[in-house]
Amino acid sequence: MKIAVVRERTEGETRVAATPETVGKLIALGAEVAIEAGAGELARFPDADYKAAGASVGTADAALKGADIVLTVRRPKAAQLAGVAKGAMVIGGMDPYGNEGEVLALAQAGVTTVAMEFMPRITRAQVMDILSSQANLAGYQSVIDAAVHFDRAFPMMMTAAGTVRPAKAFVMGAGVAGLQAIATAKRLGAVVTATDVRAAAAEQVESLGGKFIMTDALKDASGTGGYARELTKDEQAAQAELVAGHISKQDIVITTALIPGRPAPKLVSKAMVESMAPGSVIVDLAAERGGNVELTVPGQVITTANGVTIIGYTNVAGRLATSASQLYARNLVAFLDIFFDKKTKAFAVNWDDELVKATVLTKDGAIVHPNIKIDGAAAAPAAKAADTTRPAAPAKTGATGKPAAPKKAAAPKASAAAKPAAPAKTGAAEKPARKPAAKKPAAAKDPK
């Protein structure tokens, strides 16, 4: 059983799907592990550490040759998998919505792809939940990014020269990322309020020391699987009224609201941004899915005419490449662990396992996941035939999952902010996800 990990080819991706720690675990389970030289460089895992953990380190071709499993952070292109074993499993974040043609190409390349973001949110799979592990870090980083752009202190400071009032932070969407943002802003000393459309979030916000605000008109918009449902027009209007009254008094706003398979709900209008004081900072963690803020430009930091900074970084977890890779890689090992026989060390996938059924996208040359539907042009005839019985896929989410380009942030321009949120390409002018160190950027050129 050979497991391969190569350097991520998606521009701006800093994370790696295996760390020296998880390589050791995979070998202990019974696998042989091959790593492409430099795969962990941007996440600060040197080749020597992978070697010391027992992996072979070499070219991408050597790593992939005959691999039974390829672990990845982002969906690879089919052409980047040449040489893998027939029916090899490719396991990682597949970002399938809006990318059905690419998924089809992987199916036609004969690999079995596993979309880790489809992992059911059940107790057994918590340890494999890449959305949670990465959202947790993104929630933390959102507050750090806000603090970097905020010209004032977060905590109340009582000095001989007088008192500095604490910053007021408002977190919209109190899921995994939002709760971590609340906890981080509290630790920095901000006065934190938060809102969500799921009533259950109230208790969680308050347990972290935040104040929960919600309109009486919106009782509970919980959907299935712990996620939110989309609001009705009346509910949206009630929520907008609540937010409009609150946001003008905030220094920091962190938005994290998402609805599975849908574009991010627009929660903060241009008028709301204009009501905020100069120097206020908004971090839109939903930028990768189109943004919660009307003026967000995915991948960019802009400053509006009235002096509000709006941070629209994508791949925020990738800004913490080491921590994000550590957690992500452990999520993958936890998933693989269930298929290794602990005595014989043999590997055998149970295709009837509910976790497998929920996550496998392609198998035996076809797309097999019920949520992924190919429409007309993208589909090859064989796949079309195989796909006709599937239910409609959720709507495309625009910029979803598009890579962040490792460019410098755009110089804040007041004029840019006067425009509505342009459907700019995600990552068009994003800072490198890593802090500027003496690092090579992720190679733009694909060796395959």
Q: Which residues belong to the active site? A: 121, 126, 129, 132, 227
Closest distance between ligand NAD and the C-beta of residue 212, in Å? Answer: 11
Q: Does 136 bind ligand NAD (CB under 6 A)?
A: no
* CB 329 within 8 Å of CB 25: no
Q: Pick from 40, 76, 210, 265: which binds ligand NAD (CB under 6 A)? A: 265
Q: Is 176 in the site for ligand NAD (CB under 6 A)?
A: yes
AA identity, residue 88: A
Residues forming beta bridges with residue 222, ordered by sequence position: 228
Q: What share of the chain is helix, strand, coil (3-state, %, to 5)?
A: 35, 15, 50
Residue from the set 8, 196, 251, 430 that interacts with ligand NAD by CB under 6 A:
196
Looking at residue 240, its amino acid is A
226 lies in the site for ligand NAD, by CB under 6 A:
yes
Under the binding rule (CB under 6 A), the answer on residue 95 touching ligand NAD is no
**Which residues face 340 on adjacent strands?**
347
- Who's near 293: CB < 8 A, 6+ residues apart? 255, 266, 267, 268, 273, 282, 284, 310, 312, 421
Contact status: 232 vs ligand NAD (CB under 6 A): no
Residue nearest to ligand NAD (CB): 175
DSSP state letter for 435: -
Residue 204, CB-side half-sphere exposure with 13 Å CA sphere: 20
With CB under 6 A as the contact rule, which of the stretches 100-108, 189-197, 327-335, 355-363 interacts with ligand NAD? 189-197
Instruction: Determine if 128 is a binding residue for ligand NAD (CB under 6 A).
Output: no
Cβ 330 to ligand NAD, closest distance in Å? 15
Interface pick for ligand NAD out of 267, 302, 372, 442 (rule CB under 6 A): 267
- Identity of the residue, 59 or 126, whose beta carbon is nearer to ligand NAD in the bound complex: 126
State yes or no: residue 126 binds ligand NAD (CB under 6 A).
yes
Q: Which is nearer to ligand NAD, 80 or 204 (CB)?
A: 204
Stretch that binds ligand NAD, among 64-72, 80-88, 220-228, 318-326 (CB under 6 A): 220-228
Q: Which of 239, 290, 323 is nearest to 396 (CA)?
A: 290
Q: Decide whether 177 or 428 has the Cβ nearer to ligand NAD.
A: 177
Q: Which is nearer to ligand NAD, 191 or 202 (CB)?
A: 202
Interface with ligand NAD, residue 184, by CB under 6 A: no
Query: How near is the Cβ of 403 to ligand NAD at its closest, in Å?
Result: 20
HEC string of 308-341 equals: CEEECCCCCHHHHHHHHHHHHHHHHHHHHHCCEC
Q: Does 172 bind ligand NAD (CB under 6 A)?
A: yes
Interatomic CA distance for residues 181 and 137, integer angstroms: 9
Among 175, 263, 291, 427, binds ligand NAD (CB under 6 A): 175
Determine if 131 is a binding residue for ligand NAD (CB under 6 A). Answer: yes
Q: Does 214 bind ligand NAD (CB under 6 A)?
A: no
Which has the closest alpha carbon to 358: 366, 368, 349?
368
From candidates 195, 280, 303, 359, binder to ligand NAD by CB under 6 A: 195
Q: Which is nearer to ligand NAD, 141 or 195 (CB)?
A: 195
Q: Which residues contact 228 (CB under 8 A, 6 or more apart)?
A: 196, 197, 198, 221, 222, 257, 258, 259
Residue 174 or residue 379: which is nearer to ligand NAD going by CB? 174
Instruction: Confirm or reject binding of residue 69 to ligand NAD (CB under 6 A).
Output: no
Residues 6+ apart with CB under 8 A from 119: 125, 128, 129, 130, 131, 335, 355, 358, 359
Summary count for the chain: helices (H), strands (E): 13, 17
Binding status of residue 227 toward ligand NAD by CB under 6 A: yes
Residues 6+ apart with CB under 8 A from 438: none
User: What is residue 160's DSSP assignment?
Assistant: T
Contact at 8 Å (CB) between 301 and 311? yes
> Toward ligand NAD, which CB reaches closer, 2 or 319?
319
Cβ closer to ligand NAD: 270 or 384? Answer: 270
Is residue 257 a contact point for ligand NAD (CB under 6 A)? yes
Q: Is 22 in the site for ligand NAD (CB under 6 A)?
A: no
User: What does the alpha-carbon distance between residue 140 and residue 386 come to, in Å, rounded to a whole number?
Assistant: 43
Pair 293, 270: CB distance under 8 Å: no
- Name the residues that contact ligand NAD, by CB under 6 A: 121, 126, 129, 131-132, 135, 172-178, 195-198, 201, 226-228, 231, 256-260, 265, 267
